[in-house]
Amino acid sequence: MKSSSNSATADTIVIGGGLHGCSTALHLALRGMKVIVVEKDRVGRHASSANAGGVRRLGRALPEVPLSAASAQMWQNIEALVDDDCGFVASYQVKLADTDEQMDQLRARAQQVRDIGFEHEHIIDQQTLRDLVPAVSPACIGAMAVKGDGFANPFQTIKAFHQKCKQLGVTFHEGSGVDRIERAGTEWSVQTADGTFVAPNIVNCAGAWGGKIAAMLGDDLHVEARAPMLIITEKMPHFIDCVAGAQGIPFSFKQFPNGTVLIGGGHVGTAHPDINKTDLNFEGLATYAKTAQRYFPIMKNAKIVRCWAGIEGFMPDGIPVIGAGQADNVFHSFGYSAHGYQMGPVCGKILSELVIDKASTLPIAPFAPTRFAA
């Protein structure tokens, strides 16, 4: 049984045991800090296990591009960080086009990314695309591609980050929702169902619940809980290495090494964050099924074994909150709006820099919590 008389002190308390919370704890511990992670449910219970596992620089919002590029380098070497390859398979990410309009949009986009000094996004023609992705529909006329992007296994990733944290001495308190946060001198006192924890620094990595925690810390940050849906099929003969999306259409498509195919990319069900529940929206799922057949005719008779949705936090402008709060030694890192998985490794590092050095080596100004101040 749980004892409610737990009490412990640390250098930093991380609120939220998802990938971002674990990565933050990991980087803080690597720099010698004593860290406590409090998690209201289980480590990785929500978006960190229910995501599609895409490791993608392609198509990122421009402010995210530098962070994503730095994270991509960390993914190449992920085993050095967490002693596990996290199931990472590097190949290509491609964004497909089957209309001239889509092609034009892709060309314009690639130019924008070159303009800010990054060269990873390339436009490829129909023949190159067909060589790369033989299963693609003949109607596709080209794509944007990023070499070295790919996918990893979300379960394996969260487990590896969690285990590595524990090895480094990070303490986890699961089933430990935050009831109150109080200031006690220069320290923060975090009262949870599992006891009271005290530390000078707090990092809010509470995902869809990040707004609630921010409010307890005096910051008014609105995050909307949504329920992105995913479909997984039964095992199919290997037919694709790349991860595919489609220009302007909510769609993400990949085949895992075990043969199952994952379809996702933006259709949402209904999220009930207060009771950890999601409802599927069958119209959205049916649209996924249509889109998958449009780009990959091979999928017509593929059998779906499971559909599900996770609870994820979305910011009004679609990019996360990363930075210091108004109160002393409070930092936020949440609202990744369904594309935080790839950035997990680097954002943990950024947060560790913010806590210890009070500044990040990467450009995070566009993510400032103050951007929503009226």
Partner 1 sequence: MMQSQFDIVVVGAGPAGMSAAVEAAKHGATVCLLDEQQRAGGQIYRNVAQTTPAQAKILGKDYLAGGRLVQELGQSAVDHRAGVTVWNVGEDGAVTYSRNEQAGQVRGQHVIIANGATERPVPIPGWTLPGVITAGAAQIMMKSDGLVAQNAVLVGSGPLLYLVATQLLAAGAPPKALVETQTRRNLMSALPHFFGAVKDWKQLVKGMRFLVTLKRAKVPRYTAASEIAVEGTDHAQAVTFRAGGKDHRIETDMVLLHQGVVPNTQISRSLKLDHRFDDIQRCFHPVTDALGQSSHPLFSIAGDGAGIGGAKVAAISGRLAALNALASIGKIDAGLRDTQAAGLIRSRQSELSIRPFLDVLYTPPEEVFAPADDTIICRCEEVRAGDIRKFAAMGCDGPNRTKVFGRCGMGPCQGRNCGLTVTEILAAEHKRTQNEVGAFRIRAPLKPVTLSELSALSDTIHQDKTQ
Binding status of residue 205 toward partner 1 by CB under 8 A: no
x-or-dash pattern for partner 1, window 208-247, by CB under 8 A?
Answer: -----------------------x-xx-------------
Cα angle value 86/340/230 (rounded, 5°): 80
- Does 302 participate in binding partner 1 (rule CB under 8 A)? yes
CB of 50 to partner 1, least distance (A): 11
Evaluated on CA atoms 36, 316, 112, 341, the torsion sign reads positive
Mention every residue, 6+ apart, whose C-beta is less than 8 A from residue 40. Answer: 175, 176, 177, 178, 206, 209
User: Does position 287 bind partner 1 by CB under 8 A?
Assistant: yes
Residues in 90-149 at the binding interface with partner 1, rule: CB under 8 A: none
Q: Which of 282, 326, 328, 357 binds partner 1 (CB under 8 A)?
A: 282
Least distance (Å) from partner 1 to the CB of residue 155? Answer: 5
Closest CA to 31 of 354, 359, 352: 352
Q: Binding residue for partner 1 (CB under 8 A) from 97, 129, 246, 299?
A: 299
Binding status of residue 300 toward partner 1 by CB under 8 A: yes
Nearest-angstrom CA–CA distance, 254 and 153: 12
Count Cβ atoms within 10 A of the Cβ of residue 330 and give its class: 0-12 exposed, 13-18 middle, 19 or more buried: buried
Q: What are phi and psi of 106, to 5 degrees?
A: -65, -40
Size, binding site for partner 1 by CB under 8 A: 31
For residue 103, what is the enclosing H or E element?
A: helix 100-115
Spatial separation of the C-alpha atoms in residues 348 and 87, rounded to whole Å: 19
Nearest approach, Cβ of residue 342 and partner 1 (Å): 20
Residues 308-327 that bind partner 1 (CB under 8 A): 308
Using rule CB under 8 A, residue 83 touches partner 1: no
**Crossing angle for the helix pair 344-357 and 65-76, to the nearest 10 degrees:** 110
- Pick from 279, 318, 328, 373: which binds partner 1 (CB under 8 A)? 279
292, 311, 321, 343: which one binds partner 1 (CB under 8 A): 292
Site for partner 1 in 27-46 (CB under 8 A): 42, 44
Buried b (16+ CB within 10 A) or exposed e, 75-112: beebeebbebbbbbbbbbbbbbbbeeebbebbeebbee
Q: How many residues does the chain have?
A: 374
CB of 307 to partner 1, least distance (A): 5
> By the criterion CB under 8 A, which residues form the site for partner 1?
42, 44, 49, 155, 158-159, 231, 233-234, 277, 279-280, 282-283, 285-287, 289-290, 292-293, 299-308
